[in-house]
């Protein structure tokens, strides 16, 4: 099992589309953009990457394009979520074959476990065969329930399970994870407005959707937070994140991030796939204006 550590700001990349197909050149440009603006890692095929709307071939294209574009400069943590062990392991094996550093996975969605024991068995089955380190992904809004803290604590003892991203927005849950896991277990905030509070409490950083659009701002917040200047970090966070984050909560993280990226000239199109829908034109103008004020 390769040793990989993650900290700071990792960007859950959007998947650019052009007339219905994956825009590989746009994805490469996006990877270059966020690395140039000092993010610490990239995450293809996560929620913001619309992974559930990608075909198997497109999943492979997105992951391989990301690895090629990153070119070893930052870690690549690929989303591999699925509802059965075999499919998840197939995705992990592909990710390993193209040079991914670690993978991010949720518990099964739609048919969720009736008890924490079911999630534990699912993750253990994958961990037992995975060639790559696993980062658990807690996003109960999409999976129906959280990964129980006691499950996380037990899994944190497994050599293959190296961390967790929490997108629940429940900071008490995050604090409980900090309490029940060791210092060598990586905990990352997925709820952008909790980034600074998470670092102050002892997190390793975050995987944050807004780092697509304002990676430079996120890098400044990270630097202040990890330098111990919590007051400055919180001031910048509260100035920059709530407006865009509010639009994300209403219209979707991929949708809003793509509008911002198109406005900043990073990708050619803000196209999303159903069930996501484009934002109204007046909202797109508001997102563009807000982005301009932040950079």
For the annotated catalytic residues, the residue numbers are: 137, 165
The C-alpha atoms of residue 114 and residue 6 are separated, in whole angstroms, by: 32
For residue 284, give Cα distances in angstroms to 48, 62, 258, 289, 291.
Answer: 18, 26, 10, 9, 11
Peptide bond into 275 cis (omega under 30): yes
The C-alpha atoms of residue 185 and residue 164 are separated, in whole angstroms, by: 8
The C-alpha atoms of residue 175 and residue 108 are separated, in whole angstroms, by: 24
41: helix, strand or coil = strand
18: helix, strand or coil = strand
| Axis-axis angle for helices 253-263, 281-294 (nearest 10) | 70
Q: Cβ(105)–Cβ(132) under 8 Å?
A: no
């Amino acid at each position: 099992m390769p040793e990989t550590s993650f900290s700071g700001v990792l960007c859950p990349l959007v998947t650019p589309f052009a007339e219905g197909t994956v825009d590989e050149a746009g994805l490469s440009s996006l990877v270059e953009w966020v690395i140039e603006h000092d993010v610490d890692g990239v995450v293809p095929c996560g929620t913001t990457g619309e992974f559930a709307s990608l075909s198997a071939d497109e999943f492979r294209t997105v992951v391989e394009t990301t690895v090629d574009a990153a070119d070893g400069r930052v870690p690549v943590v690929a989303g591999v979520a699925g509802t059965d062990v075999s499919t998840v392991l197939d995705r992990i094996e592909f990710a390993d074959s193209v040079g991914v550093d670690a993978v991010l996975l949720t518990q099964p969605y739609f048919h969720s476990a009736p008890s924490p024991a079911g999630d534990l068995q699912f993750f253990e089955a994958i961990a037992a065969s995975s060639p790559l380190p696993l980062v658990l992904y807690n996003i109960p809004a999409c999976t129906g329930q959280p990964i129980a803290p006691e499950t996380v604590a037990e899994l944190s003892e497994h050599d293959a399970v190296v961390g967790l991203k929490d997108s629940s927005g429940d900071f008490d849950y995050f604090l409980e994870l900090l309490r029940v896991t060791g210092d060598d277990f990586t905990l990352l905030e997925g709820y952008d407005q909790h980034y600074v509070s998470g670092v102050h409490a002892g997190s390793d950083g975050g995987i944050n959707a807004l780092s697509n659009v304002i990676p430079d701002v996120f890098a400044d917040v990270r630097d202040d937070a990890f330098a111990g200047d919590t007051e400055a970090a919180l001031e910048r966070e509260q100035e920059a994140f709530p407006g865009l984050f509010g639009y994300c909560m209403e219209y979707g993280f991929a949708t809003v991030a793509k509008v911002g990226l198109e406005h900043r000239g990073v990708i050619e199109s803000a196209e999303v796939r159903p069930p996501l829908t484009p934002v109204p034109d007046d909202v797109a103008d508001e997102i563009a204006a807000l982005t301009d004020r932040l950079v």
